[in-house]
Chain A
Amino acid sequence: MRKKALLIGIGITAIVYALAFSYIFLISPIILEQGVPWIGSIVPVQIKELPIVRDIVAGVEKGYISNWFEKELSKKAKYKENEVCGECHKEYLDLIISSNHSSLACESCHGVGEEHSKLRTAWSIVVDRSRDACMSCHLNVSGREAIVTVDENHYPGVKCVVCHDAHDPLSISWSEGS
């Protein structure tokens, strides 16, 4: 008698467990929404047509239940990779790749290029020729071991880009005589 009760108990537990498991990992709305790759082959179409599943899917579509992932994914990337700038400014990309500034993104200096990539005008992108622009990285403030620094006495008063090419900084167009 004892044994039988135990077996029935285990059996019921197993069923409950199996149902819960397959709901959570197989047919729960979040799984169906996310579209786990193997789900299509295992879950029969009928389950997706079940009223409750259908309601939830409809709710998501109508916005009653917010569509978490879609919303996050639908945001536009504003910063472009170097390759995107390189599509139109190939000469600058080629220049920078083989220079000491190869680790820099165009947009570290030029600011965000979302608008510019669409408009392609000069005013939609920042070209900062000031000393401060270079000094934001190169000034010898304390704690900058990872970069070659200069102090304010490095040719003061002259813009860095007069001598250094911003895209190939070590090709210096200046000599002691001039």
Chain B
Amino acid sequence: MKRRDFLKSVLILPGLSLLASLGKEGVSYAMVVDVSKCIGCGKCVVACKIENDVPKEMPISRTWIEGYSADYSSPYSRTQVQKVVMNTTENPFIKMKWKYKTVFYVPKLCNQCSSAPCVQVCPVYARFYTKEGVVLVDKDSCIGCKYCVTACPYGATFVHPEQKVTDKCTFCYHRISKGLKPACVLVCPTGARKFGNINDKNSEVYRLLKESRVAVLKPEMGTYPRVFYINLDTTVVE
């Protein structure tokens, strides 16, 4: 066999697998949150806790709502912000006396980063990406060292007090893989949360991402989140 032929034949296998993966658009999940539609009713937090067995009375949750009231002024550094978090089944917003006039609610959850700090720092490789881009925790491998808790710029991961391992939003992976919506999206009364496959041209998230100006949280961290926000006030929300 000539050397040239040999080299050619060596390249066949990689070439084949490349070809096989071409033109095949996989599923890529994303969530789009319209902040202006959120009314702070807290149904998503309750649903998430029940669906995923997170203790209801403890101030930890896979998804939570941050209520902001702001008094804007110039220069921006003088802007006053009051922030209240709902992460139990108790809704603090109903009886809230806000200090400032502008009030809005921001639902938050794990951003399912495409370049996730928690995956990078995990010493036992317990965190991994699925082929749809969701970041999952392998609870058998997790040793509860909390590196990921410190690494996460969004504060989205926490130690589950009963399971003693880290836990975080999985986009309700057990639901979406059966074609159901995540629990928070299902119960949201105003449709502030939308979930779907961005590679599917008929999906609502595809349309929203095409039509609106979206923002992500902390873009400067280089995490490339899969959770997008519409009408987000990025000067106040962090």
The residues of A with any CB-CB pair to B shorter than 8 Å are 7, 10-11, 14-15, 17-18, 21-22, 25-26, 34, 38, 42, 66, 68-69, 71-79, 81, 103-105, 107-108, 111-112, 135-137, 139, 141-147
Count A-B contacts at CB 8 Å. Answer: 130
Query: Which B residues are CB-close (under 8 A) to A26?
Result: 13, 17
Q: Contact at B186–A79, with CB atoms within 8 Å? A: yes
* Distance to closest chain B CB from A95 (angstroms): 16
- B39 contacts chain A at the CB level, 8 A cutoff: yes
Closest B residue to A143 by CB, please name it: B103
Q: Contact at B50–A78, with CB atoms within 8 Å? A: yes
Query: Which B residues are CB-close (under 8 A) to A137?
Result: 39, 41, 43, 189
A77-B178, A141-B94 are known contacts; what are 19 more A-B pairs with Cβ within 8 Å?
Answer: A11-B3, A11-B7, A18-B14, A25-B21, A26-B13, A42-B20, A68-B138, A72-B170, A72-B174, A76-B174, A79-B50, A81-B181, A103-B190, A104-B189, A108-B187, A108-B189, A136-B94, A142-B69, A146-B38
Enumerate 22 A-B pairs (CB-CB under 8 Å) in ascending A order: A7-B3, A10-B7, A14-B7, A14-B11, A22-B13, A42-B16, A66-B141, A74-B174, A77-B178, A78-B51, A79-B51, A103-B189, A108-B43, A112-B50, A136-B94, A141-B96, A141-B103, A143-B40, A143-B67, A144-B40, A146-B39, A147-B190
Query: Which B residues are CB-close (under 8 A) to A71?
Result: 138-140
Which of B38, B42, B140, B189 has most chain A Cβ within 10 Å? B189
CB-CB contacts below 8 Å: B79-104 with A = 91, 93-94, 96, 98, 101, 103-104
Distance, CA A26 to CA B177, complexed state (A): 23
Q: Contact at B7–A141, with CB atoms within 8 Å? A: no
Query: Which B residues are CB-close (under 8 A) to A111?
Result: 50
Distance, CA A163 to CA B131, complexed state (A): 51
Closest B residue to A144 by CB, please name it: B39
- B213 contacts chain A at the CB level, 8 A cutoff: no
Closest B residue to A41 by CB, please name it: B20
Closest A residue to B42 by CB, please name it: A136
Closest A residue to B48 by CB, please name it: A79
Query: Which B residues are CB-close (under 8 A) to A141?
Result: 40, 93-94, 96, 103
- B173 contacts chain A at the CB level, 8 A cutoff: yes
Distance, CA A34 to CA B67, complexed state (A): 41
Closest B residue to A39 by CB, please name it: B20
